Structure 1
Amino acid sequence: MQLTADLTGRHVLVAGAHDEARRAVRRFAGAGAIVRPVSSPEHFTPELLDGAVLAAVVSADDGGWPALAHACGERGVLLVREVPALPGGCVTLVGGGPGTEDLLTVGALHALREADVVFFDRLAPHADLPRLAPGAELVDVGKQPGHHKVTQRDIERLMIESAKAGNNVVRLKGGDPYVFGRGGEEAAACADAGVPVSVISGVTSAISVPAAAGIPVTHRGISHMFTVVSGHQPLTDAEHEHLAGLGGTVVVLMGVGTLPQLTAGLRRAGMRPDMPVAVVERGFSDSQRTTVSTLTGIVTAAGAARVKSPAILVIGEVVRLADGNEAGQLAGLAESVGA
């Protein structure tokens, strides 16, 4: 049940086994209620409803707790039924997509609803987590360029400790956990610690953010392949040569800081100096912006536009198709344009 009522100071009775009712207890308490938990029908007495405005039965049996249902009817107390929380002691790595709640998958939403604890990144859709993960403890472990308030090893340790304490842990990450998200490391750490771990894929920003700017990463007759590259560290000469010779579209994540090295390396490797390049900042936000230029001009254009992370780089002829421009006209390449 999604709870939006303000229950500050109101008494709520929650009936159900401790483990099964744990999410409901936390959620009602988070809404300000004074919660009275009752773990079994044998422990229930009608007097426990004194002053209560609501009773919640957490049970897989719709006919369970008949005495409580009868007493609620007699006293005019609203009775709701909820399904039990899933067993804890596990970790789910959830891809949150490019940052907009609209692109969360059904699986991601279900995992968040079942979560006891959520460890979330700054690029994951976290603004409305209290509603998406009602009653869960929310822990910000987001990293920023040059500043990691919680190290990767500490994140893994916190997840494992929480799961071993019996919690249903969700690790909410931007994009997809297995696309430069260090999800493989976190899954391996959980497995090594004997903690069950599962993965829910997310919509990667490598595809979705260019699309938000009107740029398809593939297009018939123009590009039949795309390569996703991390720009976190400068590439080697051999990697520049490989990218320049591969053709198609190159999508670079986390590449603002290494943009000068990347473009210089691709030029040395033989990529055309007039190859179209786009930098899409803050994809799917109200301040999304696209800066378009060529391989030789993008560093200057990005500097003039004061481009900052988070941003996606797109290199290739598909940039000419931005906003549906299939005629191939790349007017104003050195200008910063709104997307």
Structure 2
Amino acid sequence: MQPNELIPPGIVWLVGAGPGDPDLLTRKAERLIAAAEIIFHDALVGLDILDLAAPGVELVSVGKRSGRHSKDQGSINDLLLAAARAGKRVVRLKGGDPSIFGRSTEELDHLAAAGVPVRICPGITAASAAAASGLASLTLRGLARRLTFVTAHARAGEAIDLDWDALAAHNTTLAVYMGRAAAPEIVRNLLAAGRAPDTPVMIAVNVSLPTERLIRGQLSALPFLTAAISDDDPTLLLIGEATRAAAVQVAEASITDRAAPSCRAR
């Protein structure tokens, strides 16, 4: 199949760009990026991935980062629709997996209502990449039977609306996306719901990139551990006993902070 045959004119592909390392793209995602005529991409999609696009492709940044929005969601929906109606081969490139906190449903519904076909290419989500970098499992037989993904993003001035009693269950691994700024609130609610203060945590910063840092500690220290992380550094929080398994791979310490190489051969 020729690259352009992957994306007939007037179809929109929602493509997962993974956590950042180009080698963690799926083979299909790489082919779709190469076949696109116009790519609408998130702010966190790096140049190494955008460089896989064909020469002359139109690259449109529509990203949202640390509360700074280059385009609101309604405008993004309209841009996708206009490009599809113009007969373009359209890729909407999203960090991680499009179906995990990617607002894909809003784009799908908007395009479907206008009769535009949409397809999804999944990607590796940050939680999977963080566990891999930390030599950990997201589940652990007998100790972590449940895995829950949540986002700590809330409107300004609003509390995070989550079922804290369920999230505090001792047999749950909790992956918190966009959780850096909300760390004090997360800890306060989990402790109040009964989660142990010494529950292991692993904080993944810039996961899968050459600038990756993994920080380990205990739940009670989470606000302190995240305090020095920049607003511009994408951060994922992993909370639960499964993260303790990774501790045997590193020197015993309350905090392990290291720069990890990308999976990409260099």
Q: TM-score, normalised by structure 1?
A: 0.69
Q: Does 1:337 align with 2:257?
A: yes
Q: Are 1:200 and 2:121 an aligned pair?
A: yes
Q: Does residue 293 of the first structure (1) align with residue 214 of the second (2)? A: no
> Aligned runs of 1:204-215 on 2, under 5 Å?
204-215=125-136
Pick aligned residue for 1:235 from 132, 138, 160: 160
Give the direction of change, closer, same or farther, for the CA distance of 1:245–1:186 in structure 2 (3 Å limit).
Answer: same
Matched with 2:57 is 136
* 1:84/1:224 CA distance change after superposition, 3 Å: closer
The one-letter amino acid of 2:150's match is V
Given candidates 164, 167, 178, the residue that maps to 1:254 is: 178
The residue that corresponds to 2:48 in the other structure is 127
Which residue type is aligned with residue 181 of structure 1? G
Q: 1:281 aligns with which of 200, 205, 208?
A: 205
The equivalent of 2:263 in structure 1 is: none
Q: Secondary structure at the match of 1:159?
A: helix
Distance 2:43 2:34 in 1: 20
Distance 1:204 1:158, change over 3 A: same
Deviation at 1:251, TM superposition (A): 0.6
> What is the deviation of 1:84?
6.3
- Structure 2: state its 5+ residue gaps: 261-266
What code does the residue aligned with 1:212 have? Answer: S
Gaps of 5+ in 1: 1-59, 61-81
Contact map agreement 1:191 1:197 (CA 8 A) in 2: yes
Give the letter for the 1:235 counterpart: I
Please give the root-mean-square deviation of Cα atoms over the aligned residues, in Å.
2.2
The structure whose RCO (Cα within 8 Å, separation 6+) is larger is 2
What CA distance in whole angstroms lies between the structure 1 residues aligned with 2:229 and 2:132?
Answer: 22
Distance 1:193 1:180 in 2: 23
Distance, in Å, in 2 between the alignment partners of 1:131 and 1:235 is: 38
User: Partners of 2:211 and 2:134 in 1: how far apart?
Assistant: 12
Residue identity (%)? 36
**Cα pair 1:289 1:337 within 8 Å, conserved:** yes
Q: How does 1:1-339 map to 2 (within 5 A)?
A: 87-233=8-154, 234-236=159-161, 239-245=163-169, 247-303=171-227, 305-306=228-229, 308=231, 309-322=233-246, 324-325=248-249, 331-333=252-254, 335-338=255-258, 339=260
Count of residues paired in the alignment: 253
- After superposition, give the CA deviation of every residue in 1:96-132 in whole Å (9 maximum; x if it has no partner): 1111110111211121122110001122344342433
